[in-house]
Amino acid sequence: MGHPAAVSVVSLRALHKRYGDSVVLDGFDLEVGRGQVVALLGLSGAGKTTALKTINRLVEPDSGAVEVLGREARRWEPVELRRRVGWVIQEAGLLPHMSALDNAGLVLRLLGWPAARRRARARDVLTLVGLSPDRQGALLPRQLSSGERQRVGLARALACEPPLLLMDEPFGALDPLTRRRLQDEFRALQRRLGTSVVLVTHDLPEALRLGDQVVVMNRGKVAQLGAPDVIRGAPSPGFVADLVAAALGSGC
């Protein structure tokens, strides 16, 4: 593991969540250390996104404890918490009528930054993620490639320098070459910034490539937690071993 977990940026303990008769989280635990990338990996319906959304209070667990940035989540005002924590989703979720530059500065606008300061910071973060503020920054989302849109989404999430970034299948809609390139660029950028990250993915190679720790989830529980080399080389018998064999055996 690349980073010590002595200082927890996120702590989820014994989380339970049910929708009707469906149990989504069943005693789920998670610790995320400062500067650490933790990948939540599992099949569809494993509870990955639900667990992620408990961190910024988009989902309230039925029971259990959630601490974010050293404070119980319930003591955070939800909007304030979401503005402190970066959020990146598949297809970026950009506003279609706003330019890439304005999308990158959207959170800063919500925080009340003056226009000139907001624009300068938006230009800086577009440059940070490999886009030209003058060229791509003036374009609408529909005029950008899928990879460029995802870069704008990342720029928006990084604009207010959040200590924590939540990412839900951020590279899932990209073609394989663009996906690999953005994964590598993101990991290099994360190491430079020291941002803590919780990443949801159903793709084992992505989890192994990006995570300092990988949490394999199955039916709302932790099936195995470990460094990438442990998950790859010594998967727990049963579900995890089958998942690793299927993914790596397929050449993914």
Q: pLDDT tens, 78-96? A: 988 988 898 888 766 889 9
Nearest Cα to Cα of residue 31 among 51, 50, 12:
12
The pLDDT tens digits for 153-172 are 999 988 988 999 999 988 87
Residue of 53, 7, 36 lying closest to 190 (CA atoms): 36
Six token digits for residue 211: 């995570």
In which residue are the tokens 């950028």 written? 189
Do residues 231 and 224 touch, judged by C-beta distance below 8 A? Answer: yes
Cα distance between residue 124 and residue 155, in whole Å: 9
Q: Are 34 and 7 in contact (CB under 8 A)?
A: yes
Residue 6 has pLDDT above 80, yes or no: no
User: Quick check: 47 pLDDT over 90?
Assistant: yes
Specify whether the CB–CB gap between 252 and 205 falls below 8 A: yes
| Alpha-carbon span 19 to 25, nearest angstrom | 10
Per-residue tokens: 82: 């979401």
- pTM confidence score: 0.88
Contact in structure between 164 and 4 (CB atoms under 8 Å): no
